[in-house]
Each structure stands twice: as C-alpha cells, then as structure tokens.
C-alpha cells in the first residue's frame, strides 16, 4: 500500500510546523553564548533594539519568571546568568521579520566571567550513573576474570566513537499562537502529549489550556523526542508580545542546544577456547554528559544478550563536560555498542583463524543470556543464512589484501544487528458512521508522523481489525486533544499505538456486529469506542528483540586510501511487517546512516572554547547518493505471538546497528588495517599502514 499522505507530501500540501499560518506573525531568533561556562556579567541589547521591526528582546533581566523552569530536564530559559555550554540561549529577539530578528540577535553582546572549560573525557573523572535505560548500569554473570584466564585465545582493545549531531532535513521549529491564557503550539516533535505536558507545567497552566499540534515532522531520530529550550522560549515570547511567534533553529543552532550522540570510549575483552567457544565477555563503556544532567549512551546493553557465554560483564560510566546535554540518536547505545562488540568479535575470529560468521554461530544464544528467559521469537540464524548467501560470503578470502581489482583492494566484513522491542500504553478512539450506505471509520490518537509512515500503517491496522476496505477508514494523529499515545522513539510506535488501534477497532467491530444483530442501523446509531492498550506480564516471561545480519563490501584505493562501499546486504527478523514498502525504506535509511557513522560523521569541538567547528552540512559530512552503492535489504518471516497484539517488533532503529562494524571489518579484510576509532577516514588507514602496500 502506498503512503496515504504521499500525495500531500510530493505536492507540498503537507504542512510542517514552521509552515502553519497565523495572522500577524512575528519571528523569534535566539542569541547564543560564546563561552562554555561561567556567568553573564553584562548583556547589552541597545544596538539590537535599534534594528527596525524589533518588537521585544528577552534576556535574564526581563524574561518572565517561570513556575517550573525545568520539567524533566534542565533547560536554558533566561532565568539566571549561569552559562553551562557554548551556544546556550542567552537572549531571544522577537521582530516583524526573520531578517530583522536575525540581525538584532547578531547585535546582542554579552560579557562573561568564565574559566577554562573541561571538554575531553578522562577515565579518572568517570562515575557510575544511577541507571541504564531503566536497568542497572552494570551487570555480571559468572566470573569474567576466571573465564579470561582459562581462554586459549584472548583479545582486548579499546574502540571509540565520536560526538555526532542530528541533521534531519527539517530543523527544530515551533509556532505558538496565544489566546489569553491559552496556547496553541505547532511543534516539530516526536511526542505530542509529552510536549504539551512540558509546556503546561513550565508555565503553570492546566494541560487543557495547551493544544499541541504536529501533523508532520520532517525527521526526528531521537532529537525531537525531548522538549528543548527553544519550545518554551517561543511560548514565552508569544505570551509576552501577545501575538503569534515563529521560532526556527538555523542549521548551526542544531549543534549544541538540542543534543547529539555522545562520544564513547569502549573497552572490550573476549576470551575463547581454540574451537571458538566464548569463555568470557567484558564490555566497559564510558560516554560524556553535560555538567547539569546525566544522559547515558548505553553502549554495552546488547552485549548482555547477544552471545552465549558463562561469564559476561558490562559496565557503563559517565564523564561530565562543559557541553549541552546529549540526547538519543538513532539506536542509542546499540549503534555505538555493536560497533565495538562486533569489531572485537572480528578480531577474535582473526586470532582464532576462524570464519567470523562461524564464530557467531558457534556462540549463538538460544535463550537470553542475561535474564535466562526464552526469546519471544528469534530468527537470527535464518538472517545469517539469507544475507550471507545473497552476499556471496563463501567467496571471501580471509587473509587481508588478498582480494584485488587492479589497484583497488577489496574487503568483505559482517556483523550482527539487534535492537530491543519496546511497547508502552496507548489509547485510541474510533467513530463509526454510515456514509452512502457503507460503514466508515474515523480513528484518532495523539501519536506522531515523523516520516516513517504512521498514517499509512495505522490505516491498514484499523481497516484489518474493522474488516473494512482502507478506503472506508480515515486515521488522524498529531493533536493533543486526541487520546494519548507515547513518544515515537525506541522503535515502539507500531507496537504501542498500533496495538491500541487494533484493539479499539476490534472492539468497535464487535459492538457493531452486536448492534446489527439487534436490528439497529449504524445510520441512526453511530458508534464511538475508546480503548487503552498496554503491555501485560509477557515481558516478565520472554525476552523481546529484533535481530539481523549485515554483510558489507568495501573497495579501497591502494594509492589514495579512498574507501568506497559498492554494496551492503542485510536481512532482519523483526516480527510482522505491516507494510513492506515502508519497512524497506526504514531499513535502507538505517543502513545509509550506518555508512555515515562508519566513514563520515564527526562533530568537531574546539577544545579551548567548546565551539562547534563544523556546524553545517558543508563540513559535517553525511552520505549523499554518490556515496551509496547497492543496498539489498530483506526480511525473514517471523510470527511472534507474544510480543504484542499485532506481532510487530519495530524497525526504525535496528537498521543502523552493526553497519559500522561490518564496514570496519571489511576495511581490515581489504587493507590489514584495524581502525578502532570512528569515523574510518583515509588518513587513519594511511597512518596505520604508512602507505598501503
């Protein structure tokens, strides 16, 4: 089924938050700090006020005091003089045009008292966080020291991933329309209800006084799952000037105030007997957070469940730096963690002189090694088989540098992909009426369309549950006046919202059948049904994860060190696939991002000032079409009767996992150079090899 919103998007009729119209619109632009820590000693707005069209300039000196300035996280809402990171909002200019507001914001000048910021992670500064995504930050099974001691072969290395930033096509954008003590907020968000609640609490308003609308979000990937400072600032501005305010972050402002993937340093130790049986696994991860909030990149979580071993230990540590708080970025923890773990597995395979795929199959976990629970379903063996056969893995030559095409060295690499299956409570409502003698359904819930196809798959789920053609079903989302749904994060929208839509529509169908049986027509007796759908005890009985296998080919120029990726083949077991076309797009997008993570993406921070040096798409490199070769993505059929009512596992994030490791392993197979610090750039290959032989 094609996207139900496809025509709206390709014709430009789909309105995103920044495009929502309002009479008498004003424009807000944030002025940012130029130091990474300290206090504002003076702020001068006189030259800024001289710009024509300036309506108001808010600073800590005149901004309204807020009842609850920090709801859930610490925001920068002009409440004091404290500066916590470079790029922090220190003033907000509201003007009649974007150009006037931008010019005035550039004229705001501040002086500071500041000290040298701490901007590099040191192990001596590391501490244990209170939790890791709802679990304990550390885990221990068996005796890892003893397991390593009895191993015939051991590998132990440190792998690092850099600070990365979100760069969705749509930057963060908010339009706020005031009406007395009420607000209508159009926001680019991944969490309509959470967004509404945060704004209401921040300003001491009842939730019903805030209407949050988000019909389309142009990419989120985690960056728009939280409310950042610009959203309450836009609401503050609208309340002060009592007219609509539009605030859209510039591309440069996407670096700093709205988070990014934290830097990690990961130590992995593996021990195995000569036949490849793992005797011990240790994975210790250190990542950075801000001075004022704990945010953890849980990079060792997949290591607890991915391979069987009697001895497994994981640890997570944090280091506070003078930066903005990091945030979720596609497959948080698992994207970075699979790079380290799966690279280490490849290094162990080399040390054992064993095929990397055979090593993984040798240590295949038939049940969850961490909890001991059976899997709700697991098709990883089949994923390995399907992807390896399509790729032609059997033709790989293990000795690095053995496969060549003239002056180009060819390498094959593989890795395992995984991501947990998540689900939260959601509520949906269905209105059944009769139109032209046929039943029609309107289904609503306050979920979000972040580009993944939620409008479409929810229409399909509803139609199937109601037993109606899709043409007789309309699905609506994106308005806080609708029943609540959870955040579109953790790959759980289909599982959470989809289950609610399925359950409410099945109940509506039951009531409709009963009504028809009693002789009542739908024309005279329309039906309205609301239903909650929430997880039960199944999570205490089963371990729930998606799995996949990634195989990659690289071609490395012998003279230039240039790395090209002609093809990647991957296969996934992800439960029921609701829409093959949309699912394929999701996985392809994840794999492309994995290429960027492996070879290109890195946020460069000035270690003296905390300033972002490549805060634009000219210098922060992401893959373009010319970087991507053939991508072959397939699904293994999987019927999971336990995971949720519609049997889906979620696919938004697994696609990026394992890709960076598969490419790193392929680069080693091509060149004999093991790059343990992402991104893998040609200079790292050359420096390690001192010229490629």
Question: Are 532 and 357 spatial neighbours (Cβ–Cβ below 8 Å)?
Answer: no
Alpha carbons 647 and 577: distance in angstroms, whole number? 9
Question: Are 450 and 223 spatial neighbours (Cβ–Cβ below 8 Å)?
Answer: no
Continuous segment of H or E residues that includes residue 669: helix 659-671
Question: Are 497 and 483 spatial neighbours (Cβ–Cβ below 8 Å)?
Answer: no
From 284, 313, 553, 653, the catalytic residue: 653
Contacting residues for 530 by C-beta, under 8 A, at least 6 apart: 427, 428, 429, 483, 504
Alpha carbons 19 and 642: distance in angstroms, whole number? 42
Question: Are 268 and 283 spatial neighbours (Cβ–Cβ below 8 Å)?
Answer: yes
Sign for the CA dihedral angle at 491, 552, 305, 680 comes to: negative
Question: Are 208 and 181 spatial neighbours (Cβ–Cβ below 8 Å)?
Answer: no
Instruction: Record the tokens describing residue 388, joined without a space.
Output: 């390896």
Alpha carbons 379 and 649: distance in angstroms, whole number? 13
Helices (H), 72-124: 98-107
Task: Tell me whether residue 653 is one of the annotated catalytic residues.
Answer: yes
Q: What DSSP assignment string belongs to 265-293?
A: EEEEEEEE-TT--EEEEEEEEEEEEESS-
Radius of gyration of the chain measured on its C-alpha atoms: 26
Question: Are 554 and 413 spatial neighbours (Cβ–Cβ below 8 Å)?
Answer: yes
The vertex-188 CA angle with 182 and 190, nearest 5°, equals 100
Torsion on CA atoms 462, 464, 470, 475, rounded to nearest 10: 10
Alpha carbons 416 and 356: distance in angstroms, whole number? 11
Buried b (16+ CB within 10 A) or exposed e, 117-128: bbbebeeeebee
Torsion on CA atoms 450, 456, 458, 459, rounded to nearest 10: 150
Instruction: Record the tokens describing residue 622, joined without a space.
Output: 């992401």
Distances (CA, A) of 189 to 92, 222, 248, 537: 21, 10, 13, 31
- Give the closest residue to 203 by CA, choosing from 237, 157, 175: 237
Give catalytic residue positions.
653
């Amino acid at each position: 089924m094609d996207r139900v919103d496809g025509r709206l998007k390709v014709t430009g009729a789909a309105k995103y938050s920044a495009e929502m119209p309002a009479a008498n619109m004003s424009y807000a632009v944030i002025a940012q700090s130029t130091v990474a820590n300290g206090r504002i000693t003076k702020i001068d707005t006189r030259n800024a006020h001289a710009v024509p069209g300036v309506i108001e300039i808010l600073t800590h000196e005149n901004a309204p005091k807020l009842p609850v300035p920090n709801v859930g996280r610490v925001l920068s809402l002009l409440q004091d003089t404290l500066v916590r990171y470079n790029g922090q909002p220190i003033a907000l200019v509201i003007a009649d045009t974007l150009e006037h507001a931008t010019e005035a914001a550039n004229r705001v000048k501040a002086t500071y008292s500041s000290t040298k910021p701490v901007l590099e992670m040191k192990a001596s500064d590391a501490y244990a966080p209170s939790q890791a995504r709802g679990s304990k930050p550390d885990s221990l099974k068996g005796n890892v020291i003893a397991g390593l001691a009895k191993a015939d072969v051991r590998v132990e290395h440190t792998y690092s991933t850099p600070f990365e930033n979100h760069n969705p096509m749509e930057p963060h954008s908010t339009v706020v329309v005031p009406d007395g003590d009420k607000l209508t907020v159009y926001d680019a968000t991944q969490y309509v209800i959470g967004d509404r609640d945060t704004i209401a609490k921040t300003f001491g308003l009842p939730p019903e006084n805030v209407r949050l609308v988000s019909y389309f979000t142009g990419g989120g990937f985690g960056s728009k799952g939280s409310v950042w400072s610009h959203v309450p600032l836009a609401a503050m501005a609208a309340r002060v000037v009592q007219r609509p305010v539009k605030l859209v972050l510039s591309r440069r402002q996407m670096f700093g105030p709205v988070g990014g993937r934290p830097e990690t340093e990961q130590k992995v130790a593996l021990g195995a007997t000569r036949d490849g049986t793992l005797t011990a696994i240790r994975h210790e991860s250190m990542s950075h957070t801000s001075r004022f909030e704990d945010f953890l990149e849980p990079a060792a979580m997949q290591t607890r469940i991915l391979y069987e071993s009697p001895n497994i230990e994981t640890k997570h540590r944090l280091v506070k730096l003078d930066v903005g708080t990091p945030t979720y970025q596609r497959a948080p923890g698992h994207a970075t963690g699979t790079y380290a773990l799966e690279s280490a597995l490849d290094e162990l395979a080399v040390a054992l002189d064993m095929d990397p795929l055979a090593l993984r199959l040798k240590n295949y976990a038939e049940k969850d090694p961490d909890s001991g629970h059976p899997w709700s379903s697991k098709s990883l063996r089949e994923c390995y088989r399907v992807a390896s056969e399509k790729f032609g893995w059997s033709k790989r030559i293990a000795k690095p540098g053995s496969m060549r095409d003239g002056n180009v060295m060819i390498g094959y690499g593989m890795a395992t992909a995984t991501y947990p299956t998540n689900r939260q409570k959601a509520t949906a409502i269905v209105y059944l009426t009769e139109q032209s003698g046929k039943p029609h359904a309107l289904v609503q819930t306050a979920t979000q369309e972040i580009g993944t196809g939620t409008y479409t798959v929810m229409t399909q789920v509803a139609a199937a549950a109601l037993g109606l053609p899709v043409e007789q079903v309309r699905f609506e989302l994106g308005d806080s006046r609708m029943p609540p749904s959870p955040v579109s994060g953790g790959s759980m929208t289909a599982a959470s919202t989809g289950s609610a839509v399925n359950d409410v529509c099945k109940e509506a169908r039951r009531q409709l059948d009963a009504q028809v049986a009693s002789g009542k027509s739908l024309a005279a007796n329309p039906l309205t049904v609301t239903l909650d759908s929430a997880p039960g005890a199944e999570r205490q009985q089963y371990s729930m994860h998606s799995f996949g296998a990634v195989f990659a080919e690289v071609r490395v120029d012998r003279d230039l060190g240039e790395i090209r990726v002609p093809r990647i083949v991957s296969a996934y077991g992800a439960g029921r696939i609701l829409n093959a076309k949309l699912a394929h797009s999701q996985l392809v997008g994840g794999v492309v991002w994995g290429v960027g993570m492996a070879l290109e993406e890195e946020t460069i921070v000035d270690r003296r000032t905390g300033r972002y040096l490549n805060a634009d798409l000219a210098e922060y490199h992401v893959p373009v079409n010319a970087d991507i070769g053939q991508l072959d993505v397939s699904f293994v059929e999987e019927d999971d009767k336990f995971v949720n009512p519609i049997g889906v596992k979620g696919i938004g994030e697994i696609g990026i996992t394992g890709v960076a490791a598969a490419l790193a392993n392929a680069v080693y197979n091509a060149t004999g150079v093991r790059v343990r610090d992402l991104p893998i750039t040609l200079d790292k290959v050359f420096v390690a090899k001192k010229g490629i032989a």
